Amino acid sequence: MSKSKTLVVVSLCFILFASLSLAQKITKTVPADSPYIQGAKPMFAVIPRTPAPGAAQPDAQVPIWTNTFTFNGQTFTYHMVGTDPALGSKTSRIPLVIVPLKFDFVDGTSLSATQRVCGDTKTTLTRVKTSPLLKKVAFTPGGTNVGTTQYVDAFQRANFWSQVSTTSPNYHVLLAPIQVKPLQTITAGAAGTTVAGPCARIGEVDINFFDTIAMSMLTTLNIPANTLPLFLSYNTFWTFGGCCILGYHSTDNAGTQAYAVGAYNDPGIFSKPGIRDIHALSHEIGEWMDDPLIPSQNIVPAWGHIGQVSGCQNNLEVGDPVTGSAFNVTLNGFTYHPEDLVFLPWFARISPSTSVNGWYTFLNAFAAPQAVCQ
């Protein structure tokens, strides 16, 4: 086993067990959340890596800002993409590099981000490029206009609304410009399988097998460290003892290049109807922005027993508490289903919330922050 693959296994196990054994959640016998995949549990993962001592720093990186909050006498440090909204209006533009993926399976199935989505007239790649993740839409949570912009930027503006609505009205963190790499074909072999789905077949690929390939592509495709590489699949999920990891985010072994992985999927695969099209991608882009894993993972007071988390976890993963909770955004005649995302005050136990409308999530899912998870 290669050094990089070993690190993936160890790091992923740490996060899974740190969140009260998501690995167990995948493998134990549970009522299926999918009528198509036996025992399937839709969830997301994060693979933090500890940079090697003395690792070379790239000439240019994604801009990162740092701040702290205090809870129960303990100071917590967090790092986020962009600039500190308390320091005034500034627009950060992070180049997005989309890497479309094609998986070839031993049963003859091929699932590609450049093929027409089953039941649609467009490809996965086209739908993502024309989605509210990358195109401007007016967002008005609770009737408050947080901007006509990309969804995750709207979320971040709403997240820090006490500053954005006063001293930093033109604060933005945008994904632009957009580059698309050539289609990357991966032969899954024994690391993958497919099952019948409601429309296209559903692919399942071992996360360690794929992540080794993804990290090598950062180099072979010459993707700069000042970008967000987004590995994009169609109807193909990742497995770690069981299905289904819909997406994850991580860094290279040097800890200097963050990247995200996500599936665009057909409706009807899971019992939660919102898990479709860009749902997983909105989750991972939001988590990359608020926990880029550079220079380290964001640790917060323990939370849990909510969303995809059956126990407790202590990282600032803004999608995990609301996995599967979606809302509709119609753009150019197509209805997308981005995920709700959780504001910093919920994790920091700030009351009242300093986010938009005094809310704790973009859809106002929680009335108050949690007590410390036990």
Which distant-in-sequence residues (6+ apart) come within 8 Å of 68 by Cβ? 75, 76, 77, 78
347 domain residue, yes or no: yes
367 domain residue, yes or no: no
374 domain residue, yes or no: no
How much is the pLDDT for 210? 98
364 domain residue, yes or no: no
Total Cβ atoms within 10 A of residue 222: 9
pTM of the model: 0.92
How much is the pLDDT for 207? 98
Which distant-in-sequence residues (6+ apart) come within 8 Å of 303 by Cβ? 309, 312, 313, 314, 321, 346, 347, 370, 372, 373
**Domain that residue 320 falls in:** 3-52+62-358
Average pLDDT per run of 10 along the chain, which is 374 residues long? 35 34 31 85 94 79 97 98 98 98 98 98 98 98 98 98 98 98 98 98 98 97 97 98 96 94 98 97 98 96 94 96 97 97 98 98 97 90
- Structural domain tally of the chain? 1
240 domain residue, yes or no: yes
SS3 content of the chain, % helix, strand, coil (to 5): 25, 35, 45
369 domain residue, yes or no: no
277 domain residue, yes or no: yes
Q: Compute the half-sphere exposure of residue 16: CA atoms within 13 Å on the CB side of its CA.
A: 22
How much is the pLDDT for 32? 55
308 domain residue, yes or no: yes
